[in-house]
A and B are shown apart, each in its own frame.
Chain A
Amino acid sequence: MRYSFLSLLTNGLTGQKGWKPAWRDAAPKPAYDVIIVGGGGHGLATAYYLARVHGIRNVAVIEKGTIGSGNAGRNTTIIRSNYLLPGNEPFYEWSMKLWEGLEQELNYNAMVSQRGILNLYHSDAQRDAYARRGNAMRLNGADSELLDREGVRAMYPFLDFDNARFPIQGGLMQRRAGTARHDAVVWGYARGADRLGVDIIQNCEVTGFIREGEAITGVETTRGAIRAKKVGLAVAGSTSRVAAQAGLTRLPIESHVLQAFVSEGLKPMVDGVITFGAGHFYISQSDKGGLVFGGDIDGYNSYAQRGNLPVVEDVAEGGMALMPRIGRLRLLRMWGGIMDMSMDGSPIIDHTPIPGLYLNAGWCYGGFKATPASGWCFAHLLAKDEPHKVGAAFRLDRFRTGHLIDEKGVGAQPNLH
C-alpha cells in the first residue's frame, strides 16, 4: 500500500481498518543471492539499495531480535556531514544528500528535520580549526558557516557565553544538518525493501557459518541453515562475536558502551543541535519536547548495554557548563548501546579475507547519520565486488598499510575516539 493523503483520508473515514502490516514476517527460504546479517538501519538500507539500485532482490535480512532494536533504536538521531578528512567528508555528504530525498524515495515519513547543527568554539585555536573544517566541508559540496559570538547569541541567547573557563567565541554552523526519527528510518527501509521482494527474518540468530573450502556459502541460524552466494555483516557492536564464528578472531574493533539521556518534556527551547566545544556534550530537543543529550563513551570494553555513573556525572557537568538553565531538569530515561569502536574512529566497508564474507562495521558512535550512505556503499560492494567511490577509503587493511582515517587525531585508542 502506498501512503498518500488519499489513503490517510480514506482510512480516517473508515475507522483506520484498512491498514496492512508495513512488511511481511518472512520465514527463511533455503537459499538467497545475498544474506545481510543484522536488521538495523545499515542492514536494511543495504538490502533496500541492493534491490532498488542493483536489481538484486533475492535477499534476506536476518536479525536475532526485532529490527531496529539495537543501536538503530538507541542513538540520539543526529544527521550531519561536518567532517574534515578526504576519506570521510564525501561519504557523509552523500549520506546527507540521501537523507534529503529519503522520505520521497521511501514514501515514508522519517521526520527528517534540517534544523541545523552548531559546533561551538571556545578559543582562537579552535576557531581556526573549525574554519578549516568548514572550508573542507564546502570543498566537498556541503554547507558550512562560521558564526561569531554575536551570531551564536542571536540563535541561542541562553548559553553561558561568559563561562569563566570556556567562554563561547562562536560556532561552526551546518544548516542542512538536523535530526531524523530513528525508528521510522528503520521501518521505512524495511517497508521499502520488503516491497521490492527482500525477506526480513526476525528472531533468527546466526549461530555459525556454512563453508565450502575457504569460502562462506551461508549461515547456520536458530531457524535452520540458509545458503547464500554472499553474506554481509552489519551487526555493529556484535561484529567481533559474529565474525569470530566465521574464523575472523581478531579485528581492529573494540566494543564500548555509550550512554544517552532524555529529560522530561519541555516547551520548545533548543530548536537545533548544539555541541559543546570544550568537553564532549551535545544536545537537541525531540518533537515530544524532551531534551536528548549525550557525551563520551564510558571508555572500557563492554557488551552490557548499560553504563556507569562517572560518565553520567561528566555529561551532566558538560551540560551545566554549556547551558546552566538545565540544572533543575529531571532525567526521564537513560540507556546504553554497544559501539563498534574502530581503532582510528572511522568505519569499515570492505571484503574480508574470507571469500563470500563482507564487512560493514566500525561506526563508533557515528553510525546513525551514515545509515543511507552506508547501505548505499555496502550494497555497491556486495553487488559489484568493488568499493563505491565515496566509501573507498573505508578499507579493512588500512590499519596494516598505514592509511588510517584518524578524524579526531588520537591514534589507535578506541576509548579516546
Chain B
Amino acid sequence: MRIPCPYCGARDAHEFAYLGDATLTRPDPAAPDAEGRFFDYVYQRTNPAGAHEEWWYHAQGCRQWVKVARDTRTHAIGGATLARDGAATSGDPA
C-alpha cells in the first residue's frame, strides 16, 4: 500500500503511523453535554466497509498529518490532502 503524501509523493505505508477515522471532531469540553459527546468521539465508530476518511502521520517523511481517502474493502486510495488544509472544517488530528 502506497500513500500519496502531498509533500513527498507516493510513499510506502510503513513510513506512516495510523490514527483512524478522520470524520470525528473533538467536542468542546466546556459544552453542557460534553461527557456524552466525548464518549461518542473516543469510543464510537461507524466502521464503514467501503469509503473511509482517515488520518495518517508521515512519521518517516515530512512529519505532516495527512487525511487519506481509502476503500476499506480493497485498500485502494482515492487521494490524500494535508490535514491542516481542512482541519478547521472537518475534524482534527488528536
A residues adjacent to B (C-beta < 8 A): 238, 240-241, 244, 249-255, 299-304, 308-310, 313, 343, 399-400, 412-415
Contact = CB atoms under 8 A, between A and B. Distances in A.
Interface string B37-58: 0011011111111001010000
B12 A253 contact: no
B7 interface: no
16 contacts: A241-B49, A244-B46, A250-B45, A252-B43, A252-B44, A254-B45, A254-B47, A255-B49, A255-B72, A299-B18, A301-B20, A301-B52, A304-B73, A308-B13, A308-B75, A400-B39
Interface in B1-57: 1, 12-14, 18, 20-21, 39-40, 42-49, 52, 54
Contacts of A240: 45-49
A396 to B, nearest CB: 11
| Secondary structure dominating the interface of B | mixed
B39 A308 contact: no
The 7 closest A-B pairs by CB, nearest first: A310-B14, A240-B47, A250-B44, A399-B43, A303-B49, A252-B43, A300-B18
Q: Chain A's interface: helix, strand, loop or mixed, by majority?
A: mixed
B89 interface: no
Contacts of B73: 303-304
How many B residues are at the interface, by size bracket? 20 to 34
A258 to B, nearest CB: 14
Contacts of A415: 18, 20
Nearest to A397: B39
A300 B54 contact: yes
Contacts, number: 71
A410 to B, nearest CB: 13
B71 to A, nearest CB: 9
Question: Which of B39, B40, B43: most chain A Cβ within 10 A?
Answer: B43
Contacts of B48: 240
Nearest to B15: A310
A304 B75 CA distance: 7
Most chain-A Cβ atoms within 10 A of its Cβ — which of B21, B47, B72? B47
Contacts of B45: 240, 250-254, 343
A302 B49 CA distance: 8
A38 to B, nearest CB: 16
A254 B14 CA distance: 20
Nearest to B52: A301
A301 B72 contact: yes
A238 B47 CA distance: 10
A34 B42 CA distance: 33
Contacts of B40: 250
B44 A251 contact: yes
B13 A310 contact: yes
Contacts of A399: 39, 42-44
Contacts of B21: 254, 301
Given A303-B72, A412-B43, A310 B54 contact: no
Contacts of B13: 300, 308, 310
